[in-house]
A and B are shown apart, each in its own frame.
Chain A
Amino acid sequence: MTAPQDIKPMPPTRRHKVQRWWWLFQRVSGVLLIVLIFTHLFVNLMTGDGVSQIDFAFVAGKWASPLWQWWDFAMLLLAMLHGMNGMGYIINDYASRKTTRTVLHALLGIATAVIIVLGALVIWTFDPCPVDASGALLEGVPSFCEDVL
């Protein structure tokens, strides 16, 4: 029998480095999301009239402030990437065929990209006081729109 030999660790490949980066991202984003999401839930569901206060005017009131726009954008980006990476780990664990894995990872990536782009467009192109063809304010806009027009 041969004595156990020292095995030199393989030099880290690019793939290893990328995986390590995502591992760290998962933890850092997780901690940040705790702050972002619990504040989001507290402001929307605990203060004021709770879930019953949420309507177009409520959203318009929040997104009138760049703070909430950036807040929601950070939440969108971090939560989607955190979720994508987590779902990716699950795909790798359960999809044993290479083709299945490739297809599922592709679908996941597409879904994530679409949701991030859509959400970002909604936040940054939001119009709190939309008007109809005749220039009249639509129903359901916040009351501050009357002062603006």
Chain B
Amino acid sequence: MSPAPTLYRGSDGMWMWFVHRATGVAIFFFLLVHVLDTSLVRVSPEAYDEVIGSYKTPIYGLVEAGLVGAIVVHALNGLRVIAVDRWDWALRHQRALTIAVWVITAIVMAGFLPRHLGVVFGGH
């Protein structure tokens, strides 16, 4: 008996798999750029200060906030993947763990965003 054709919409596991890849790729490319900009300390203090100054502009401040968010989700989801692989308990509570990833991300970002955006936009 073959099932009726459906559009596969996935479930939490598939979406988290996608989120893990997307955030991983974004973080990887940022890392390449971040090592290059830091390398300017070997050119001159002036060159470094000028380029790093762009990290403090509103646009980059927002990009940076997004990157921190990507890192937090990627880190927590990585722990979830390890847990689900390792413990039956975690496998049985996959869904709760997925929700936990997002809830903890929200809590961390609630601590980080006011502070960071305050510095970027308010000067403090």
Interfacial residues, chain A to chain B (CB-CB below 8 A): 27, 30-31, 33-34, 37-38, 41, 45-46, 49-52, 54-57, 59-60, 76, 79-80, 83, 86-87, 90, 111, 115, 118-119, 121-122, 125-127, 130, 138-141
- B83-109 vs A, Cβ < 8 Å mask (1 yes, 0 no): 000000000000000000000000000
B interface secondary structure, majority: helix
Least distance between A121 CB and chain B CB atoms (Å): 8
Chain B residue numbers with a CB within 8 Å of A138 are: 44-46
Chain B residue numbers with a CB within 8 Å of A111 are: 32
Least distance between B110 CB and chain A CB atoms (Å): 13
B49 and A55: CB pair below 8 A?
yes
B116 and A90: CB pair below 8 A?
no
5 smallest CB-CB distances across A and B, nearest first, come from A140-B45, A56-B45, A50-B119, A83-B28, A119-B35
B45 and A83: CB pair below 8 A?
no
A34 vs B41: C-alpha distance when bound (angstroms): 26
A88 vs B22: C-alpha distance when bound (angstroms): 14
Q: Which B residues from 15 to 68 make CB contacts under 8 A with A?
A: 21, 24-25, 27-28, 31-32, 35-36, 38-39, 41-42, 44-46, 48-49, 52, 55-56, 61, 64, 68
Least distance between A135 CB and chain B CB atoms (Å): 15
A interface secondary structure, majority: helix
Least distance between B11 CB and chain A CB atoms (Å): 20
A45: contacting residue among B35, B75, B112, CB under 8 A: B112
A80 and B52: CB pair below 8 A?
no
A46 vs B68: C-alpha distance when bound (angstroms): 12
Q: Pull 13 A–B residue pairs with CB atoms less than 8 Å apart, ordered by A.
A: A30-B82, A41-B68, A45-B112, A45-B115, A52-B56, A54-B56, A55-B48, A76-B35, A87-B25, A87-B28, A115-B31, A122-B42, A140-B45
A122: contacting residue among B39, B75, B78, B124, CB under 8 A: B39
A118: contacting residue among B39, B44, B52, B124, CB under 8 A: B39
A115: contacting residue among B21, B32, B56, CB under 8 A: B32
A51: contacting residue among B28, B32, B49, B64, CB under 8 A: B64
Name A55's closest neighbour in chain B (CB-CB). B49
Least distance between B47 CB and chain A CB atoms (Å): 9
